[in-house]
């Protein structure tokens, strides 16, 4: 079984530019999460989807961040425009609500210069 797939693995952009990250969760996992991990810290939730519905986006900076999960499967997280402080690792995870088995992808390391 394939795990959670994220792309790209690394991204370097100039500030004020847009950037997008893509996540393909484990097949059958109805819950999808985007986390941000700053250097030296634990991951923090940005947004949680149940199928195609965003059920918790309270930590998503909505002035510049947006996310979507089309057809309740793949998801895209976008930043526009990027700021220096957005440099971090963006992790996608998925779970099936019955077994608390959160599976994380390898993450996208974003560097804003």
Partner 1 sequence: AQSVTQLGSHVSVSEGALVLLRCNYSSSVPPYLFWYVQYPNQGLQLLLKYTTGATLVKGINGFEAEFKKSETSFHLTKPSAHMSDAAEYFCAVTLANAGGTSYGKLTFGQGTILTVHP
Select from 12-20, 65-73, 80-88, 100-108 the region that touches partner 1 (CB under 8 A): 100-108
Minimum CB distance to partner 1 smaller for 35 or for 65: 35
Contact segment (CB under 8 A) with partner 1 among 12-20, 69-77, 79-87, 99-107 equals 99-107
- Residue identified by tokens 């847009």 is 18
107: left (phi over 0), alpha (psi -120 to 50) or beta: left
50 closest CA partner among 33, 30, 68, 66: 30
User: Per CB under 8 A, which region of 17-25, 61-69, 70-78, 101-109 contacts partner 1?
Assistant: 101-109
Q: Residue 61's Cα: distance from chain center in Å?
A: 13
How, if at all, do strands 108-112 and 10-13 pair?
parallel
Does residue number 48 form part of the binding site for partner 1 (CB under 8 A)? yes
Residues in contact with partner 1, total (CB under 8 A)? 28
Q: Could you say which of 21, 33, 34, 65 contacts partner 1 (CB under 8 A)?
A: 33
């Amino acid at each position: 079984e394939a795990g959670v797939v994220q792309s790209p693995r690394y991204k370097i952009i100039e500030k004020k530019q847009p950037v997008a990250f893509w996540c393909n969760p484990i097949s059958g996992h109805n819950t999808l999460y985007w986390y941000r991990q700053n250097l030296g810290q634990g991951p923090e939730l940005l947004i949680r989807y149940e199928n195609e519905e965003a059920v918790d986006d309270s930590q998503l900076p909505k002035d510049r961040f947006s996310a979507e999960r089309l057809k309740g499967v793949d998801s895209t997280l976008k930043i526009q425009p990027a700021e220096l402080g957005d440099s971090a690792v963006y992790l996608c995870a998925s779970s099936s609500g019955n077994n608390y088995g959160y599976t994380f992808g390898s993450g996208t390391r974003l560097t804003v210069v």
